[in-house]
C-alpha cells in the first residue's frame, strides 16, 4: 500500500490539473482538509514550477509531470504548419522534453512526497531517484498494457483514468485512439494485470455515490477528481472558463483542443476539426492569441462529463460533498 494514500483521512484526492487550475493554494487546502494535493507542472515553465514547489514547502504535496515525447514526424509537422497558416501564426519550435528532468530534480529537492507521471512512466533510474528522496512514484495509465509496463518499472501506485475524465487523456502513445472501456471495466482489467499495486480511480466521479461505488471495486485505494474542483475558490480556473463551466453544455473527447486527445466543452473549432491529426504540443501556440481574446469559437475549457454536476465552494466544501455517506 502507498504510505501517502494510507495516511489520508479522505478517500478523494484532487487531480493535478496543468495550465492553471491546480494552484499551491488548492494543494494547501487539500492538505488542511485531510486529503493530498498534486501540482500539475507538465506544461509549466521551469521558473513557474520552481515557484509553485517552493510555495508548497512544509506540507506533504505531489508533482505531476509530462513524460518526454518523441519529435513529431514530418506528416504531422506538415499538418501543424497548415493549421498555423490558416491562423496566420508562426509555428513555434516545440519542447518535446516538457522540462521533465529539471522538474523532477526540482520536485525531489523541494520535498515532494509523490512524483506522478502523465503520458508515460518513469525509467528504473528515475524510480530509484524518487525512492532515494523518500518519495513515491505514481503513474497514470489508460490500458492494462500501460499498467503492466508501469508496474514492471517499479512504481508505487497506478492512477487508472477512464474515458469520462476531463483534460488530457493520459495515453502513452500520441497517435493512439484512447481506450473506450468504462472506468469500472478498465479498473477491473488493470487490477488483473497489476494485482500488486494500489489503484486510484479517475474520470467522471461527480458525487459521493460515485466515489463510494468506485471505492467498492477491487484494488481501489483512492479516487482522483479533477473537474469537481474546477470551480473551487482556491482553483486557478480563469473567470472566462468559470463562466463557460456554469453555462455548461456537451463535452467531447478530441484532438481539436491541443493535438492530443482531451475532453472539454465542445466548440465550433472542435466541431469543424473532428479528425485533427496528432500535432501536440503545437496547436495551443497556434490558437493562443484567439484564446487569450476569449474567442468562443476556439474555447479551451477542458472538463469531464456531466458538467451540470460541478459546484463551487472551497476545496473543503467539495471534499465534504464527495466523501460523505451517499446513503
Contact 170, 224 (CB under 8 A): no
Q: Domain map of the chain by residue range?
A: 3-70+96-237+311-323
- Looking at 3.30.2350.10, 3.90.1150.10, 3.20.20.70, 3.40.50.300, the CATH number of the domain 3-70+96-237+311-323 comes to 3.20.20.70
Radius of gyration of the chain (CA): 18
The model's pLDDT over 119-165, given as tens digits with 9 standing for 90+, comes to: 999 999 999 999 999 999 999 999 999 999 999 999 999 999 999 99
Secondary structure tally for the chain: helices H, strands E: 13, 11
Helix (H, G, I), strand (E, B) or coil at 170: coil
C-alpha of 37 from chain center: 12
84/47 Cα distance (integer angstroms): 28
Contact 184, 154 (CB under 8 A): no
Note the pTM of the prediction, 2 decimals: 0.97
Of 295, 214, 301, 200, nearest to 252 by C-alpha is 301
165/179 Cα distance (integer angstroms): 12
The model's pLDDT over 243-283, given as tens digits with 9 standing for 90+, comes to: 999 999 999 999 999 999 999 999 999 999 999 999 999 99
Of 233, 230, 209, nearest to 310 by C-alpha is 230
Q: What angle do CA 281, 260, 76 make, to 5 degrees?
A: 65
Amino acid at each position: 500500500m502507498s504510505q501517502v494514500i494510507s495516511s489520508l483521512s479522505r478517500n478523494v484526492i484532487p487531480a493535478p490539473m496543468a495550465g492553471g487550475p491546480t494552484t499551491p493554494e488548492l494543494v494547501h487546502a487539500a492538505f488542511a482538509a485531510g486529503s493530498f494535493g498534486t501540482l500539475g507542472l507538465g506544461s509549466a515553465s521551469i521558473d513557474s514550477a520552481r515557484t509553485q514547489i517552493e510555495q508548497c514547502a512544509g506540507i506533504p504535496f505531489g508533482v505531476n509531470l509530462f513524460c518526454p515525447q518523441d519529435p513529431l514526424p514530418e506528416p504531422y509537422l506538415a499538418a501543424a504548419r497548415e493549421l498555423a497558416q490558416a491562423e496566420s501564426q508562426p509555428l513555434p519550435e516545440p519542447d518535446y522534453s516538457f522540462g521533465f528532468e529539471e522538474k523532477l530534480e526540482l520536485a525531489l529537492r523541494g520535498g515532494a512526497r509523490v512524483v506522478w507521471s502523465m503520458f508515460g512512466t518513469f525509467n528504473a533510474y528515475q524510480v530509484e531517484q524518487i525512492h532515494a528522496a523518500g518519495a513515491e512514484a505514481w503513474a497514470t495509465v489508460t490500458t492494462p498494457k500501460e499498467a503492466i509496463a508501469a508496474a514492471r518499472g517499479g512504481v508505487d501506485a497506478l492512477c487508472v483514468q477512464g474515458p469520462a475524465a476531463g483534460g488530457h487523456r493520459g495515453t502513452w502513445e500520441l497517435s493512439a485512439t484512447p481506450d473506450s472501456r468504462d472506468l469500472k471495466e478498465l479498473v477491473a482489467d488493470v487490477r488483473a494485470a497489476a494485482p500488486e499495486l494500489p489503484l486510484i480511480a479517475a474520470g467522471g466521479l461527480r458525487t459521493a455515490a460515485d466515489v463510494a461505488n468506485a471505492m467498492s471495486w477491487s484494488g481501489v485505494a483512492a479516487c482522483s477528481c479533477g473537474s469537481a474542483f474546477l470551480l473551487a475558490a482556491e482553483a486557478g480556473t480563469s473567470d472566462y472558463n468559470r463562466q463557460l463551466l456554469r453555462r455548461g453544455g456537451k463535452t467531447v473527447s478530441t484532438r481539436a483542443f491541443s493535438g492530443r486527445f482531451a475532453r472539454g466543452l465542445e466548440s465550433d473549432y472542435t466541431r469543424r476539426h473532428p479528425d485533427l491529426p496528432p500535432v501536440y504540443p503545437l496547436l495551443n501556440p497556434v490558437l493562443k492569441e484567439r484564446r487569450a481574446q476569449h474567442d468562443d469559437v476556439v474555447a479551451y475549457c477542458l472538463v469531464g462529463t456531466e458538467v451540470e454536476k460541478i459546484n463551487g465552494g472551497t476545496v473543503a466544501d467539495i471534499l465534504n460533498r464527495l466523501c460523505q455517506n451517499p446513503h
